[in-house]
Structure 1
Amino acid sequence: MTTHQRSEHTTRTGPSALRLRVLPAEVHAALLRAPGPYTASFLQTPAWARVKAGWQAQSLGWVDARERLVGSALVLFRQLPGVRRSFAYLPEGPLVDWADPQLDRWLEPLLDHLRGTGAFAVRMGPPLAYRRWTARTLKDAAGPGRRVADVLPDLVEPLGAAVSDRLRDAGWRRCGEDGQGGDAQPRLVFEVPLAGRSLDDLWTGLNQEWRRNIKKAAKSRVYTRIEGPEALPAFHNLLRITERRDGFDLGRSLEYYQRQYAELNAEAPGRMRLYTARHEGEMLAAHTLLTAPDGNRVWYQTGASADHRREVRPSNALQWRMLCDAQSMGAAVYDMRGVTDDLDPAARAHGLLRWKLGTGGDAVETLGEWELPLHGAVNKTLHRAMHAYLTHR
């Protein structure tokens, strides 16, 4: 990434003009903690830039005519091997007023700034929901060959639909629609609403299988607790077991999780927690939980479990403990991250979705990730390289 010569950018004048400036990390972090219309993803925190080894990063802020910071973005830059150009990536960002009918006054300063860095393309993930399906709707729709997209949603979010149209009109392309380069972050996620719900409400929202398994774990004396970074090696060992059993590979080393734990908690103590479930002293499951800067959302990020003693249901016990803790912290949403869109009960991929449906939450299709070339048509070789970096997992 080349050094940009100007610290601020604006593309219009007058009372509606917004300027973009580079922010110190501590200013950016403080801004994300303030209440606002949107909750920042953990992927938009300055700490996340320090987690992502091999990437360069900038914290950016939008300033209005009254010199108030009114929006922010964490931009990650990846320089391609053998060239001096990079691509810019805003995972689950930026954090701007997406409801503003003059969306270009937010995006134009950003694009101007990124062109100045030498980036050849930008990818962003507006943090907006597009369509929602309740657990009941998807359970009723399950069948051979069925996909979530085949099912009429319970709700189409008006803002998500409007922003999608505005981005297309401005020349942005939704990732994966041309058969190349899908999203790097999950487009279909699973959310359990917590706002206004008591623990009794959460309990009755679980299906019978979940309630039975949680009771079985308690009867079997499965103990759940929060452990420190010294337990990360055991967590990672369980993760490798889980990957082999379920046929996937996250490609994340123990050092990655140690760095994530250290950096997120250095920015805000308790930002990342490691929950464990033990039976007769042995760790049988371990899950990581991340908290948004404003505390309004928590994420179940990564889960791992052993191959043996599965009958004592340690993962169900852990999830119930994490749901209860999220509710007591005052979070409005418990985000279980990505799920497959496969509704075929016979498909192996359907198992994780079925497990999460048991919590009684909603499957949510986000707006997904969008791309725009910054210097005319993007060279196809550069484009393929960019997709390889972002979608290899």
Structure 2
Amino acid sequence: MTALTSRTGPLTVRPITADEELATLLEVGGSFLQTPSWAASKPDWRRQYLGWFDAEGTRVGAGLVLARPVPRTRRSFAYLPEGPGLPWDEVAKDPAAWFDPLTDWARGAGAFALRVGCPVTSRTWAPDVVKKQIGEGGLLSFTSLPPAFDNPSARALETYLDGAGWTPIGWGTSNAVGQPRFLCIVDLEGRDAPTVLRSMNQQWRRNIKKAEKAGVEVVVRGPEGLDAFYEQYTESAHRDGFFPRPKFYFERIMKAFAADPRVDASFYEANVAGDVLASALMIRVGPTFSYLYGGSTSRNRDARASNALQWKAIRDAIDLGCTAYDFRGFNTSLGATSPLTGLLLFKLGAGADVVEKVGERELVVNRFWHKAFEAAMQGRTLLTTWRKRGQPQATEAEV
């Protein structure tokens, strides 16, 4: 049993089992990127599950560490994507009590750098505000406007991280490294389907009606939906100019999430009379329903299959008791003329707020090994850039 509302004495961090990690994650709340299923879909990374324990031995938090080892050494780069799963309001009251044991573990494990993806909401903006600024002042200019929500716990956490030497990763207007700091999220808490529908813009509501009149049917599929999904996804990649993931990447995800009934991955497929027009990969963990990747064909665009698909997924999320529909992030280097800006506007039209997270921070534990690792990664990035030659990454490619 975990006791996540209170703790006694100093905290320690030590290895736990995958089952213990997921049980704690589901109780305290956390990202699909922190699940054992996600770890299983990443065979090139070592995995380690950690638990936070108070003085009485009660587990009060947990996290998945993905480690990229340096060959023939015990050194590694340690990464907790969108994690760990902790009671973050409590963490903000005394961050050192929670971060210091993690740092001690990293040093003992031979990590030369430790990266965490603090999933704490920092600020939020309403969709209309963001949409207006894209056209008038550039993509990120909305961040200079007063947010609809400003989290004091995030300010306390950021102050600690800045002072303790945790460097922000993926900030500014360059392509984000790792996971996106800005997400598009539809708030579902305490809201039924008609309420959510009313929060969508007029074009979205009109397109949902068009899809109904066109006879669009949306079905939910398991691994058998992969071929149709990948056809739509790669067509979208060629049309919009981003570099697609290989097919086996999605095969791994589906296989990994199928192994645990406490989490779910599925393909949502929209068709008219059997002709598949759009498909998307969705993952549900706890109260969050996430849209990871999607694609659509250029055929029969007037049927508005993508709108119907997302509306079906949102309604399913509501029926399952989810409190958030996560459209995932967007590339912060987008300009108003980028073809991928349309994807962001699509998400905003569905009533998604833009949610800024505290985001990824990195602590250098050993400067020599970190510098060598950075040089190797820069070489890898140059090679990847050469391979992609002019093709921008899609926003969903961050996961």
TM-score normalized with structure 2 length: 0.87
Counterparts of 1:214 and 1:168 in 2: how far apart (Å)?
46
Question: Are the aligned partners of 2:222 and 2:265 in contact in 1 as well (CA < 8 Å)?
Answer: no
Deviations along 1:212-242, one digit per CA (max 9) or x if unpaired, are 1111111111110111211202211211111
| Counterpart code for 1:118 | G
Partner of 1:281: 274
Partner of 1:103: 95
Partner of 2:153: 159
Counterparts of 2:272 and 2:381 in 1: how far apart (Å)?
38
Alignment of 1:36-185 (within 5 A): 36=28, 39-80=29-70, 84-99=74-89, 100=91, 101-150=93-142, 151-152=144-145, 153-176=147-170, 182-185=176-179
Counterpart pick for 1:367 among 338, 355, 358:
358
Q: CA deviation at 1:148?
A: 2.5
Counterpart pick for 2:237 among 235, 239, 243:
243
Counterparts of 2:159 and 2:237 in 1: how far apart (Å)?
38
| Counterpart code for 1:30 | A
Q: CA deviation at 1:181?
A: 8.3
| Counterpart code for 2:283 | L
Partner of 2:308: 317
Q: What residue ranges of structure 2 are gaps of 5+ in the alignment?
A: 1-6, 385-396
Alignment of 1:190-205 (within 5 A): 190-205=184-199
Give % identity: 38
Alignment CA distance shift 1:136-1:344 (3 Å): same
Partner of 1:296: 287
Higher mean C-alpha displacement, 340-349 vs 361-370: 340-349
Partner of 2:182: 188
The answer as to 2:298 corresponding to 1:307 is yes
What is the RMSD of the two structures over their aligned residues, measured on CA atoms? 2.4
Question: Are the aligned partners of 2:364 and 2:370 in contact in 1 as well (CA < 8 Å)?
Answer: no
Counterparts of 2:354 and 2:172 in 1: how far apart (Å)?
24
Question: Are the aligned partners of 2:170 and 2:180 in contact in 1 as well (CA < 8 Å)?
Answer: no
Q: CA deviation at 1:156?
A: 2.0
Alignment CA distance shift 1:347-1:249 (3 Å): closer
Counterparts of 2:47 and 2:197 in 1: how far apart (Å)?
42
Question: Are the aligned partners of 2:180 and 2:329 in contact in 1 as well (CA < 8 Å)?
Answer: yes
The answer as to 2:6 corresponding to 1:16 is no
Higher mean C-alpha displacement, 279-288 vs 374-383: 374-383
Deviations along 1:178-206, one digit per CA (max 9) or x if unpaired, are 99984311111101010111111011111
Alignment CA distance shift 1:231-1:269 (3 Å): farther
| Counterpart code for 1:130 | S
Q: CA deviation at 1:340?
A: 3.8
Question: Are the aligned partners of 2:139 and 2:336 in contact in 1 as well (CA < 8 Å)?
Answer: no
Aligned length: 374
Alignment CA distance shift 1:180-1:222 (3 Å): closer
Q: Does the residue aligned with 1:285 lie in a helix, a strand or coil?
A: strand
Counterparts of 2:160 and 2:359 in 1: how far apart (Å)?
14
TM-score normalized with structure 1 length: 0.88
